[in-house]
Amino acid sequence: MLCLALAMQNIHTSIMPSSHLFFAPVYSTEQIRSIEHQLLSLPNPVPLMERAGYAAAKITRERLLKNATNQRILVLAGPGNNGGDAFVAARYLADWGHEVTVVFIGDTNRLPNDAKSALQAWLSMGGEISQIIPNKSTWDAIIDGIFGIGLEPSQSRPITGIYRQWIATVNQMQCPVLSLDIPSGLGSDDGCIYGAAIHATITVTFIGVKPGLFTNSGSDFCGKIVLATLNIDAGYLPTPSSWLLNPSFIQSLLPSPRVANSHKGSYGSVAIIGGSTGMVGATLLAGRAALNLGAGRVYIGMLAEKSPVVDYLQPELMLRAPTELLALESLSCIIAGPGMGTSPLAVNLLKQTLNIPLPLVLDADALNLIAQHTDLAEKLMDRDAPTILTPHPTEAARLLNITTAAVQNNRMQAALQLAQQFKCTVVLKGAGSICCLTNGKRYINTSGNAGLSTAGTGDVLTGMIGALIAQGIDVERSLLLAVYLHGAAADEFRKEINGPVGMTASDVINAARKLLNTLIETLHDLNE
């Protein structure tokens, strides 16, 4: 029998929730594979599989089984290294006194060498292999080690056959599931579902976090995400180009508390152009968001023939004719697009706006106009002042002249392509919004919920971005902070109403104002 006391020496590995990682880098599948190759090619190879399996077993025991003894565990092992991690986890759990059933149908001769050794170690300690999931059995926990990041996006087809049956069976069971690296069936780079995917209770991801855990369908399938670093020396990690937007990171973006000796001019002026007939509410929502997130003055220029002269719910907003608004000299930034429409007047106003050397936030119809008119796109690319684009996937598809599905199938690349093509800072909205800076650095947002799937929340985000820019925060920091606050405010309000159903864009504005003040004051108190 294998002496696990020896095997466990030096296996201790850092395990932490991803939300607690400060400036957490995000790595692609290709980067993770490169790291693994380096470590396994050393004269004394790092025992990655042993460490990963131990971490998985430890999390299973402590978080799924709550340290209870004699629990029954089902382990599903796939045909690659993810299966090897599963064999190692099974070995530790069995040694700790649990009843472990391992299911494996692959060809043992075709297993990677490390996985083959892990299987042999499992068999050597008396472990057995089943080729089917036993019927009429109940389990206290399940370990999903079917595919992990071995599901290569470049060659992935929808999962079929026995593995799809395994996934369906697991998803029907009423017990907690731990997925190794990423839920099987979920793309680690894109968050796409390849036919079917495991619904995990917890996903333990190894070495570094992957994009697919947080964007597209990732948040619906991963459950709680924890990172097992496997104690990799930082020197073997590549220079990252992507990070998570999480609570730890966002603290570095917060503005300082306001001083008493200030006035409305201290916090800038935002101009918002939009609101064609039937879409007046879009500009009002953006304006209210800008005002409530701290802009000193907010002006709105509407295109509607019968536009209101005052917002009775927010009379502090100053409503002007669009042409009059563009002539103001005291502006800090301009927002164009919410409810703007695509009329000749809209085209002309957007053309004028692109010529003004101020920070500019483009949303909604402004993006559609740029996609439709080559001259507008050229003006955008020629701007010297910073510009932020805020497309949802369909608007991004129009700008890139591809399908919405193509955008969603590679959100990280689509955000980068938009930033490079238009020389702008970009947020590609959606589950796990992706912010891309002009230097190519990308940030995946970890806040937000389904309550944001309602009309007007995009207008609110746009107004929030403008408010932060007006207050003197640089454009890139304003985007990152606004995107995170927007989602986090929705998370706070979700708690208040016990779910996401019925959340409105106006609710998000009020929650965001409260949250921003709370974060600033809390950070100030900590620094005193």
Q: What is the DSSP string of 242-264?
A: EEEE-HHHHGGGPPPPPPSS--G
Q: 136 and 21, same structural domain?
A: yes
What pLDDT digit, counting tens, does each position of 210-268 carry?
A: 999 999 999 999 999 999 999 999 999 999 999 999 888 898 899 989 999 999 999 99
Q: Report helix, strand or coil for 336.
A: strand
Report which secondary-structure segment, H or E, holds 370: helix 365-372
Burial environment of residue 166 by CB neighbours within 10 A (0 to 12, 13 to 18, 19 or more): buried
Mean pLDDT calculated for residue range 66-88: 95
pLDDT at 156 over 80: no
d(CA 489, CA 69): 41
Which CATH number goes with the domain that contains 283? 3.40.1190.20
What does DSSP say about strands 177-180 and 141-145: parallel, antiparallel, or unpaired?
Answer: parallel
Q: 337 and 268, same structural domain?
A: yes
The pLDDT-based confidence of 69 (bands split at 50, 70, 90) is confident
Q: 194 and 121, same structural domain?
A: yes
pLDDT at 16 over 80: no
pLDDT at 26 over 90: yes
Residues in the chain: 528
C-beta separation of 37 from 31 below 8 A: no
Q: Which of 153-167, 179-193, 309-323, 416-430 has the lowest mean pLDDT?
A: 153-167
Mark which of 181, 212, 240 sits at the end of a domain: 240
What pLDDT digit, counting tens, does each position of 31-40 carry?
A: 999 999 999 9
Q: pTM of this prediction? A: 0.93
pLDDT at 2 over 80: no
- The confidence score (pLDDT) of residue 4 equals 40
Q: 177 and 144, same structural domain?
A: yes
- The confidence score (pLDDT) of residue 265 equals 92
pLDDT at 520 over 90: yes
Which CATH number goes with the domain that contains 166? 3.40.50.10260
| In a domain? residue 404 | yes
For 444, 448, 461, 519, the CA distances from 452, given in Å and listed in that order, are: 17, 7, 11, 21
Mark which of 240, 262, 284 sits at the end of a domain: 240
Q: 270 and 185, same structural domain?
A: no
Q: What percent of the chain has pLDDT over 70?
A: 94
What pLDDT digit, counting tens, does each position of 433-462 carry?
A: 999 999 999 999 999 999 999 999 999 999
pLDDT at 154 over 60: no
Q: 319 and 438, same structural domain?
A: yes
Q: Which domain range does residue 59 map to?
A: 4-240
Q: Which of 310-314, 417-421, 487-491, 524-528 has the lowest mean pLDDT?
A: 524-528
pLDDT at 481 over 80: yes
| In a domain? residue 313 | yes
Q: 266 and 173, same structural domain?
A: no
Burial environment of residue 315 by CB neighbours within 10 A (0 to 12, 13 to 18, 19 or more): exposed
C-beta separation of 270 from 333 below 8 A: yes
Q: 418 and 306, same structural domain?
A: yes
Q: Report helix, strand or coil for 427.
A: strand
Q: 228 and 294, same structural domain?
A: no
Q: 281 and 149, same structural domain?
A: no
The pLDDT-based confidence of 166 (bands split at 50, 70, 90) is very high
The pLDDT-based confidence of 67 (bands split at 50, 70, 90) is confident
Q: 322 and 234, same structural domain?
A: no
- The confidence score (pLDDT) of residue 23 equals 67
The pLDDT-based confidence of 7 (bands split at 50, 70, 90) is very low
For 39, 60, 85, 171, 219, the CA distances from 79, given in Å and listed in that order, are: 22, 22, 11, 20, 26
Q: Which residues pair with 115 in a beta bridge?
A: none
C-beta separation of 272 from 466 below 8 A: yes
In the sheet that 333-336 helps form, which strands lie side by side, from edge to edge? 242-245, 442-445, 434-436, 425-428, 387-389, 360-362, 333-336, 269-274, 297-302, 318-320
Mark which of 199, 222, 240 sits at the end of a domain: 240
Count of structural domains, the chain: 2
How does the average pLDDT of the chain come out, rounded? 93
| In a domain? residue 245 | no
Q: 296 and 235, same structural domain?
A: no
d(CA 337, CA 300): 12
pLDDT at 17 over 70: no
- The confidence score (pLDDT) of residue 152 equals 60
